[in-house]
């Protein structure tokens, strides 16, 4: 097996996932044609592994991607999968049940754990005040307030403020009806934010009610496109700072599954216009997962297009190298072993 890129000689990083292919963190393989490449992170070229030690690694890789890896995204020709520190490009469509939005669901579940820990830290702080005031014989106003049950909430609010600040959006905006200047959207006013379907299908316009004329539906401060998307993602993350239980995340992802895609879910949740404060909790969580998923999906699609172009070029080379240097029966045996006779 190669330990360095055959094009630029950069060393391949070791991985812990594959016994038969210990070098390389990004791999590409084609179970149908029996090809296996290590992808260089420096020059991005693909090194075709020598055919004589390919088949065991191919079998291992096929098993790993079928049983354990998460599908990130796919085109008609290639799929991008991840398992641990390993990124795998698999030629041919992957038949996997787990969809990519589970990743963000897990983030919400782990946020919940952090939130619970923060509450515990607040309770501890209150306990410390109690012990301290008993020792010194005095109780400060702040100490008394903490003990009166505000401990956990204070620590949580503080952590939230540290992470988000107080404004979700700042800029130069005006009410689209009366022209009143609106230069900020605060998290405090989030419940009143309007979510409206955009002219571009699957996108959302975010509308803050005008503080002067009070309009909303046909006026107010209206954010569109990326600006709306980024602000909405921030507001939803703030809104769901406490995270969500695993059960809630499961119901939310089921909603997305039933809708068909993150974009469809967004369309269904927002309908012809909703206030953020009127969203039901599961719908809100699903919307947060969907908005994050849609933006990550755009990046993945760009990456996939690039990978697909690489694959086409490398496959041309591989067919020449394997064809010229390898007697056909050996290649056929290899193909059969990997596809189990298919």
**Cβ contact 92:32 at 8 Å:** yes
**Cβ contact 228:204 at 8 Å:** yes
Q: Which of 124, 128, 131, 178 binds Zn ion (CB under 5 A)?
A: 178
Interface with Zn ion includes 207 (CB under 5 A)? no
Interface with Zn ion includes 317 (CB under 5 A)? no
Least distance CB 2 / Zn ion (angstroms)? 11
Between 217 and 336, whose beta carbon lies closer to Zn ion?
A: 217
Between 205 and 288, whose beta carbon lies closer to Zn ion?
A: 205
| Interface region with Zn ion, contact rule CB under 5 A, candidates 2-10, 245-253, 297-305, 310-318 | 2-10
Binding residue count for Zn ion, defined by CB under 5 A: 14
Between 42 and 319, whose beta carbon lies closer to Zn ion?
A: 42
What φ, ψ does residue 22 adopt, rounded to 5°? -80, -10
Q: Which of 71, 210, 286, 287 binds Zn ion (CB under 5 A)?
A: 210
C-alpha 14, offset from chain centre = 25
Q: Phi-psi category of 27—alpha, beta or left, where left has phi over 0 and alpha has psi -120 to 50?
A: beta
DSSP of 199-268: SSTT-EEEEEPPTTT---SSSSEEE-HHHHHHHHHHHHHHHTTT---HHHHHHHHHHHHHHSSHHHHHHH
Per-residue interface string for the shown chain with Zn ion, residues 4-33, x marking contact by CB under 5 A: -x-xx-x-----------------------
**Sign (positive or negative) of CA dihedral 264, 268, 270, 273:** positive
Interface with Zn ion includes 42 (CB under 5 A)? yes
**Cβ contact 289:252 at 8 Å:** yes
Between 124 and 178, whose beta carbon lies closer to Zn ion?
A: 178
| CB-count exposure of residue 149 (10 Å: 0-12, 13-18, 19+) | exposed
Taking the C-alpha atoms of residue 216 and residue 194, their distance in angstroms, rounded to an integer, is: 7
Between 185 and 210, whose beta carbon lies closer to Zn ion?
A: 210
DSSP state of 4: B
Least distance CB 319 / Zn ion (angstroms)? 21
Least distance CB 171 / Zn ion (angstroms)? 17
Buried b (16+ CB within 10 A) or exposed e, 46-70: bbbbebeebbebbeebbebbeeebe
Q: Contacts with Zn ion in 213-252 (CB under 5 A)?
A: 213
Least distance CB 187 / Zn ion (angstroms)? 22
Q: Which of 94, 139, 147, 180 binds Zn ion (CB under 5 A)?
A: 180
Positions touching Zn ion (CB under 5 A) are 5, 7-8, 10, 40, 42-43, 175, 177-178, 180, 210, 212-213
């Amino acid at each position: 097996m190669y330990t360095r890129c055959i094009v630029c000689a950069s060393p391949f990083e070791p991985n812990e996932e594959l016994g038969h292919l210990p070098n390389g963190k990004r791999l590409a393989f084609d179970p149908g044609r029996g090809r296996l490449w290590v992808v260089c992170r420096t020059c991005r070229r693909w090194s075709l592994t020598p055919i004589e030690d390919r088949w065991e690694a191919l079998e291992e890789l096929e098993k790993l991607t079928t049983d354990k890896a998460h599908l990130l995204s796919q085109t008609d020709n290639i799929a991008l999968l991840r398992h641990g520190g390993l990124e795998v490009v698999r030629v041919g469509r992957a038949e996997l049940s787990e969809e990519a939005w589970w990743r963000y669901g897990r983030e919400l579940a782990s946020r919940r754990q952090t939130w619970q820990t923060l509450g515990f830290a607040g309770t501890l702080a209150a306990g410390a005040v109690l012990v301290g005031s008993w020792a010194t014989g005095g109780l400060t106003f702040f100490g008394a307030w903490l003990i009166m049950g505000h401990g956990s909430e204070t620590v949580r609010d503080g952590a939230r403020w540290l992470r988000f600040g107080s404004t979700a959006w700042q800029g130069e905006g005006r009410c689209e009806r009366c022209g009143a200047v609106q230069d900020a959207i605060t998290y405090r006013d989030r419940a009143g934010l309007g979510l409206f379907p955009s002219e571009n299908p699957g996108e959302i316009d975010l509308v803050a009610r005008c503080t002067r004329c009070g309009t909303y539906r046909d006026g107010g401060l209206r954010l569109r496109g990326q600006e709306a998307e980024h602000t909405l993602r921030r507001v939803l993350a703030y809104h769901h700072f406490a995270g969500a239980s695993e059960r809630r995340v499961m119901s939310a992802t089921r909603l997305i599954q039933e809708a068909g895609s993150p974009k469809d879910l967004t369309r269904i949740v927002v309908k012809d216009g909703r206030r953020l404060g009127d969203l039901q909790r599961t719908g809100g969580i699903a919307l947060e997962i969907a908005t994050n998923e849609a933006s990550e999906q755009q990046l993945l699609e760009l990456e996939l297009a690039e990978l697909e172009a690489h694959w086409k070029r490398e496959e041309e080379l591989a067919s020449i190298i394997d064809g010229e240097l390898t007697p056909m029966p050996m290649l056929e045996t290899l193909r059969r072993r990997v596809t189990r006779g298919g």
